[in-house]
Amino acid sequence: MKITVLLAALLSASVAFAGPPAPKKEGIEGQGYVWNAQEGEKIEALQKKGDVTRGEEAYEVCGACHLPSGAGRPDGTFPQLAGQHTTVLIKQMADIRAGLRDNPTMYPFAATLVDPQELADVSAYIESLCIPTDHGKYEGADAALQVAKGKELYEKQCKECHGDTGAGDKAKFYPVIAGQHYKYLLRQMTEIRDGHRRNANPDMVKVIKPYTDDQLVAISAYQASLKMPGSMCGDKK
Protein backbone atom coordinates (compact mmCIF):
# COMPACT_ATOMS: atom_id res chain seq x y z
CA MET A 1 0.00 0.00 0.00
CA LYS A 2 2.67 2.51 1.05
CA ILE A 3 4.89 1.62 -1.90
CA THR A 4 1.97 2.17 -4.29
CA VAL A 5 1.16 5.55 -2.75
CA LEU A 6 4.82 6.58 -2.82
CA LEU A 7 5.23 5.64 -6.48
CA ALA A 8 2.10 7.57 -7.39
CA ALA A 9 3.37 10.59 -5.47
CA LEU A 10 6.75 10.41 -7.15
CA LEU A 11 5.10 10.22 -10.56
CA SER A 12 3.06 13.29 -9.68
CA ALA A 13 6.23 15.05 -8.58
CA SER A 14 7.96 14.21 -11.86
CA VAL A 15 5.11 15.90 -13.68
CA ALA A 16 5.56 18.92 -11.42
CA PHE A 17 9.25 19.06 -12.38
CA ALA A 18 8.21 19.39 -16.01
CA GLY A 19 5.75 22.18 -15.23
CA PRO A 20 6.33 25.89 -14.67
CA PRO A 21 9.08 26.99 -12.27
CA ALA A 22 8.33 27.94 -8.69
CA PRO A 23 6.88 31.42 -8.21
CA LYS A 24 9.23 34.06 -6.87
CA LYS A 25 8.03 36.52 -4.25
CA GLU A 26 10.11 39.35 -2.85
CA GLY A 27 11.71 38.36 0.46
CA ILE A 28 14.35 39.96 2.70
CA GLU A 29 15.46 42.15 -0.20
CA GLY A 30 12.07 43.91 -0.19
CA GLN A 31 11.22 46.86 2.06
CA GLY A 32 7.78 45.49 2.86
CA TYR A 33 8.99 42.02 3.84
CA VAL A 34 7.59 40.72 7.15
CA TRP A 35 9.42 37.59 8.23
CA ASN A 36 6.59 35.76 9.98
CA ALA A 37 3.60 37.37 8.24
CA GLN A 38 0.53 35.20 8.76
CA GLU A 39 -1.31 35.35 5.48
CA GLY A 40 -2.76 33.18 2.75
CA GLU A 41 -2.60 29.41 3.13
CA LYS A 42 0.00 29.78 5.89
CA ILE A 43 -2.46 31.28 8.38
CA GLU A 44 -5.16 28.83 7.29
CA ALA A 45 -2.87 25.86 7.92
CA LEU A 46 -1.73 27.23 11.28
CA GLN A 47 -5.36 27.56 12.41
CA LYS A 48 -6.23 23.97 11.51
CA LYS A 49 -5.73 20.91 13.70
CA GLY A 50 -3.42 18.50 11.93
CA ASP A 51 -4.47 14.87 11.62
CA VAL A 52 -1.48 12.57 12.15
CA THR A 53 -3.07 9.60 10.37
CA ARG A 54 -3.83 11.61 7.23
CA GLY A 55 -0.43 13.27 7.56
CA GLU A 56 1.34 9.91 7.42
CA GLU A 57 -0.16 9.23 4.01
CA ALA A 58 0.69 12.73 2.76
CA TYR A 59 4.28 12.30 4.00
CA GLU A 60 4.90 9.37 1.64
CA VAL A 61 6.25 11.70 -1.06
CA CYS A 62 8.46 13.52 1.48
CA GLY A 63 10.05 10.26 2.63
CA ALA A 64 11.74 9.80 -0.74
CA CYS A 65 14.29 12.46 0.25
CA HIS A 66 13.87 12.93 4.01
CA LEU A 67 13.49 9.14 4.55
CA PRO A 68 10.40 7.46 6.05
CA SER A 69 11.86 8.09 9.52
CA GLY A 70 12.23 11.83 8.90
CA ALA A 71 15.96 11.49 9.60
CA GLY A 72 17.10 13.28 6.44
CA ARG A 73 20.65 12.69 5.19
CA PRO A 74 23.78 12.98 7.36
CA ASP A 75 25.62 14.60 4.45
CA GLY A 76 23.31 17.59 4.83
CA THR A 77 21.60 17.35 1.45
CA PHE A 78 18.24 16.97 3.21
CA PRO A 79 17.54 18.09 6.79
CA GLN A 80 16.26 15.99 9.63
CA LEU A 81 12.55 16.79 9.99
CA ALA A 82 11.43 14.40 12.74
CA GLY A 83 10.35 16.30 15.83
CA GLN A 84 10.45 19.76 14.25
CA HIS A 85 7.78 22.26 15.35
CA THR A 86 4.61 22.21 13.25
CA THR A 87 4.69 26.00 13.01
CA VAL A 88 8.18 25.92 11.49
CA LEU A 89 7.27 23.15 9.05
CA ILE A 90 4.11 24.92 7.91
CA LYS A 91 5.94 28.23 7.47
CA GLN A 92 8.78 26.73 5.46
CA MET A 93 6.54 24.65 3.19
CA ALA A 94 4.17 27.58 2.62
CA ASP A 95 7.12 29.90 1.90
CA ILE A 96 8.52 27.46 -0.67
CA ARG A 97 5.10 27.10 -2.30
CA ALA A 98 4.66 30.88 -2.38
CA GLY A 99 8.13 31.58 -3.78
CA LEU A 100 9.54 33.22 -0.64
CA ARG A 101 12.16 30.51 -0.15
CA ASP A 102 14.13 29.20 -3.10
CA ASN A 103 14.23 25.41 -3.09
CA PRO A 104 13.80 24.07 -6.63
CA THR A 105 14.37 20.49 -5.46
CA MET A 106 11.57 20.57 -2.89
CA TYR A 107 9.12 22.83 -4.69
CA PRO A 108 7.56 20.12 -6.93
CA PHE A 109 7.05 17.89 -3.88
CA ALA A 110 5.63 20.67 -1.71
CA ALA A 111 3.32 21.59 -4.59
CA THR A 112 1.66 18.14 -4.39
CA LEU A 113 0.07 19.06 -1.03
CA VAL A 114 -3.45 20.01 -2.03
CA ASP A 115 -4.57 22.54 0.58
CA PRO A 116 -3.85 24.15 4.00
CA GLN A 117 -5.38 21.15 5.80
CA GLU A 118 -2.86 18.82 4.17
CA LEU A 119 -0.04 21.19 5.18
CA ALA A 120 -1.29 20.95 8.78
CA ASP A 121 -1.68 17.15 8.57
CA VAL A 122 1.80 16.39 7.23
CA SER A 123 3.37 18.83 9.72
CA ALA A 124 1.57 17.15 12.63
CA TYR A 125 2.81 13.75 11.47
CA ILE A 126 6.42 14.93 11.13
CA GLU A 127 6.37 16.55 14.58
CA SER A 128 5.08 13.27 16.05
CA LEU A 129 7.99 11.18 14.71
CA CYS A 130 10.56 9.90 17.18
CA ILE A 131 13.98 11.55 17.08
CA PRO A 132 16.65 9.43 15.31
CA THR A 133 19.59 8.63 17.56
CA ASP A 134 22.23 9.32 14.90
CA HIS A 135 22.79 12.36 12.73
CA GLY A 136 25.57 14.11 10.87
CA LYS A 137 28.15 15.76 13.16
CA TYR A 138 31.36 17.68 12.63
CA GLU A 139 34.02 15.02 12.20
CA GLY A 140 37.30 16.95 11.98
CA ALA A 141 40.28 16.09 14.13
CA ASP A 142 39.66 19.35 16.02
CA ALA A 143 36.02 18.51 16.81
CA ALA A 144 36.29 19.15 20.55
CA LEU A 145 37.88 22.55 19.93
CA GLN A 146 35.29 23.54 17.33
CA VAL A 147 32.40 22.52 19.59
CA ALA A 148 33.88 24.53 22.48
CA LYS A 149 34.33 27.61 20.26
CA GLY A 150 30.83 27.17 18.90
CA LYS A 151 29.35 26.90 22.38
CA GLU A 152 30.88 30.24 23.35
CA LEU A 153 29.52 31.94 20.23
CA TYR A 154 26.11 30.28 20.59
CA GLU A 155 25.67 31.40 24.17
CA LYS A 156 26.50 34.99 23.27
CA GLN A 157 23.96 35.52 20.51
CA CYS A 158 22.02 32.41 19.49
CA LYS A 159 20.45 31.11 22.67
CA GLU A 160 18.24 34.16 23.18
CA CYS A 161 16.03 32.90 20.36
CA HIS A 162 16.90 29.20 19.99
CA GLY A 163 17.15 28.51 23.74
CA ASP A 164 19.80 26.96 25.96
CA THR A 165 19.24 23.52 24.45
CA GLY A 166 18.59 24.51 20.83
CA ALA A 167 14.89 23.63 21.16
CA GLY A 168 13.72 26.80 19.44
CA ASP A 169 10.31 28.35 20.11
CA LYS A 170 7.20 26.91 18.51
CA ALA A 171 5.06 30.00 19.07
CA LYS A 172 7.66 32.31 17.50
CA PHE A 173 8.51 30.03 14.54
CA TYR A 174 12.09 29.53 15.75
CA PRO A 175 13.18 26.03 14.65
CA VAL A 176 14.67 23.23 16.67
CA ILE A 177 18.34 23.30 15.66
CA ALA A 178 19.72 20.88 18.25
CA GLY A 179 20.80 17.62 16.65
CA GLN A 180 20.34 18.83 13.08
CA HIS A 181 22.90 17.60 10.56
CA TYR A 182 26.10 19.64 10.79
CA LYS A 183 26.49 20.18 7.03
CA TYR A 184 22.88 21.28 6.67
CA LEU A 185 23.25 23.80 9.52
CA LEU A 186 26.43 25.17 8.00
CA ARG A 187 24.86 25.54 4.56
CA GLN A 188 21.77 27.31 5.87
CA MET A 189 23.69 29.73 8.08
CA THR A 190 26.04 30.54 5.22
CA GLU A 191 23.09 31.21 2.92
CA ILE A 192 21.41 33.40 5.54
CA ARG A 193 24.62 35.37 6.11
CA ASP A 194 25.17 35.84 2.38
CA GLY A 195 21.56 36.90 1.66
CA HIS A 196 20.55 33.79 -0.28
CA ARG A 197 17.88 32.53 2.15
CA ARG A 198 15.20 35.01 1.15
CA ASN A 199 12.69 34.05 3.86
CA ALA A 200 15.19 34.46 6.70
CA ASN A 201 14.47 36.36 9.89
CA PRO A 202 16.03 39.83 9.40
CA ASP A 203 17.07 39.84 13.07
CA MET A 204 19.09 36.69 12.47
CA VAL A 205 20.61 38.14 9.32
CA LYS A 206 21.93 41.08 11.37
CA VAL A 207 23.39 38.76 14.02
CA ILE A 208 25.03 36.36 11.61
CA LYS A 209 26.26 38.87 9.01
CA PRO A 210 29.65 39.57 10.70
CA TYR A 211 30.51 35.90 11.25
CA THR A 212 33.46 34.41 9.39
CA ASP A 213 33.35 31.01 7.70
CA ASP A 214 35.38 29.56 10.59
CA GLN A 215 32.91 30.91 13.14
CA LEU A 216 29.98 29.40 11.24
CA VAL A 217 31.78 26.04 11.22
CA ALA A 218 32.20 26.23 15.00
CA ILE A 219 28.59 27.23 15.69
CA SER A 220 27.28 24.50 13.39
CA ALA A 221 29.53 21.93 15.09
CA TYR A 222 28.15 22.92 18.49
CA GLN A 223 24.50 22.92 17.41
CA ALA A 224 24.89 19.49 15.82
CA SER A 225 26.41 18.20 19.07
CA LEU A 226 23.26 19.05 21.06
CA LYS A 227 20.58 16.47 21.76
CA MET A 228 17.34 17.22 19.97
CA PRO A 229 14.43 17.51 22.42
CA GLY A 230 11.61 14.97 22.17
CA SER A 231 11.08 11.24 22.25
CA MET A 232 14.16 9.45 20.96
CA CYS A 233 13.64 6.42 18.73
CA GLY A 234 13.94 3.28 20.81
CA ASP A 235 13.06 4.99 24.12
CA LYS A 236 10.95 2.87 26.41
CA LYS A 237 7.47 4.26 27.00
* Annotated binding residues for heme c: 62, 65-66, 106, 158, 161-162, 204
CA dihedral angle for residue 68, residue 74, residue 79, residue 83, rounded to 10 degrees: 60
Quote the CA–CA distance of 160 and 183 in Å, as a whole number.
Answer: 23
| DSSP-H helix ranges across 99-181 | 107-110, 116-128, 143-157, 159-162
Angle at 171 between CA 167 and CA 175, to 5 degrees: 35
Number of H helices, E strands in the chain: 12, 0
- Enclosing H/E stretch for 225: helix 213-225
Map residue 220 onto helix, strand or coil.
helix
Quote the CA–CA distance of 74 and 136 in Å, as a whole number.
Answer: 4
Map residue 37 onto helix, strand or coil.
coil
**Closest of 66, 76, 192, 58 to residue 114, by C-alpha:** 58
**Closest of 180, 197, 181 to residue 189, by C-alpha:** 197
- Enclosing H/E stretch for 73: none
